[in-house]
Amino acid sequence: MGGEANGTLNPSCGSSEPPYSEELLRSLDLPGRFLFATLTLMTLIAILVFIEEAVYIYRKIPSSKSSIIIWINAAAPVISTTSCIGMWVPRSTMFTDFTAGIFFAIVIHKFLMMMIKECGGQKVLLRRFENGHFTISTGPCCCCCLCLPRVPITRQTLFWLKLGTFQFAVFRPVLIFLSIVLWTNGNYVLYNLSPKGPALWISCFIGALTLCALWAVGIMFRKVRILLKCKNIIPKFALYQFIVILNHLQTTIINIFATQKIISCAPPLSSTARGSYISQQLLIMEMFLITVISRVVYRRKYHDLEPPECVAEEPGDKKQAPKIILNGAVVEDALPKV
């Protein structure tokens, strides 16, 4: 930075490639080494907390839900781990970001499936909201389109919601694979957002797929948030939203600042490499906090919560007879349903 002030440009500031690990570690002073050690320790603690939580979930929660909940809980530790690897090995940033992106695309689909599972499954959800409607004027796509009609809750509409998240879990890995293929041929440059390059168009397509997936989750959450309030669905959704904002929006803003040279270079890091460096350090701290909070929110026995305790009907919906689930059998009006 001192070289820039004197009118000279350090070679690393004009480089498009991040430095090697050895070069970065040699440039660290004592506070920098302490920060590296602290962030690495936070990542290791997050991994240990997740492993302990996964064992608890596997033992205490029914198998039909445990795998989905473990996937969702793994989002923050995985992002923290990939960020830590990218911090230690700057040249691996593209691959660590791709790995975190693929994993979180699957987590978005798993979160939608978790809400359906917590309602008792698709068949129970359809019976409970037999005459209900989905409100599709919700974020992030149509929050301002209040004139949109409400959609009846049917097997078909549930299929389209699941397809909205499933397409993201399928197409994002495909697009990332295409990006790696183009990168090996020298056509894909991560921070080259020129209209003539593929990075801009692939990023825009991934952004559109992301909005569709988040929209499907938002529609489902808006419908079941009262029903599942007793299962802490609102704090769970808040944690999920924080991960979306921090992993996508925050990283995108920092990368734009770095590309426009608002974040100055600090040898041996160029502006873009330093932007990724800052983003990774922030994500490690943020994902550590989310991992700890998730342990508190998810660490409860879901099978002890009975669905009739948190039933919420829409105004005008057809009233249903009270149901109690007892040892896997549905009881209506105190008589077992055969």
3-class secondary-structure state, position 289: helix
Question: How far is residue 185's CA from residue 181's CA, in Å, rounded to a whole number?
Answer: 7
Single-letter code of the amino acid located at 273: A
**Inter-residue contact 225 to 235 (CB < 8 Å):** no
The pLDDT assigned to 299 comes to 79
Q: Which two tokens stand for residue 254?
A: 């920092």
The pLDDT assigned to 7 comes to 44
Question: How far is residue 319's CA from residue 314's CA, in Å, rounded to a whole number?
Answer: 9
| Residue ranges of the chain whose pLDDT lies below 50 | 1-7, 304-305, 307-322, 324-330, 332-338
**Inter-residue contact 280 to 86 (CB < 8 Å):** yes
Question: How far is residue 303's CA from residue 118's CA, in Å, rounded to a whole number?
Answer: 10
Domain ranges, ordered by start, for the chain: 19-300
Q: Which two tokens stand for residue 300?
A: 């409860």
Any alpha helices (H) in the chain, and if so which ranges?
A: 2-5, 21-27, 30-60, 63-73, 75-88, 93-118, 122-128, 155-184, 198-224, 233-244, 251-259, 271-298
Question: How far is residue 55's CA from residue 71's CA, in Å, rounded to a whole number?
Answer: 13
The pLDDT assigned to 329 comes to 47
Please identify which residue in the block is written with the tokens 């008589």.
335
pTM assigned to the model? 0.82
Question: How far is residue 142's CA from residue 131's CA, in Å, rounded to a whole number?
Answer: 23
| CA separation, residue 270 to residues 1, 22, 282 (Å) | 10, 16, 18
Interaxial angle between packed helices 75-88 and 271-298, expressed in degrees from 0 to 180 and rounded to the nearest 10: 150
List, for residues 55-73, the tens digit of each pLDDT value: 988 888 877 788 899 999 9
The pLDDT assigned to 303 comes to 52
The pLDDT assigned to 2 comes to 43
Give the number of residues written for the chain.
Answer: 338
The pLDDT assigned to 16 comes to 64
Q: Rounded to the nearest 5°, which phi and psi values hold at 101?
A: -65, -45
Q: Rounded to the nearest 5°, which phi and psi values hold at 33?
A: -70, -40
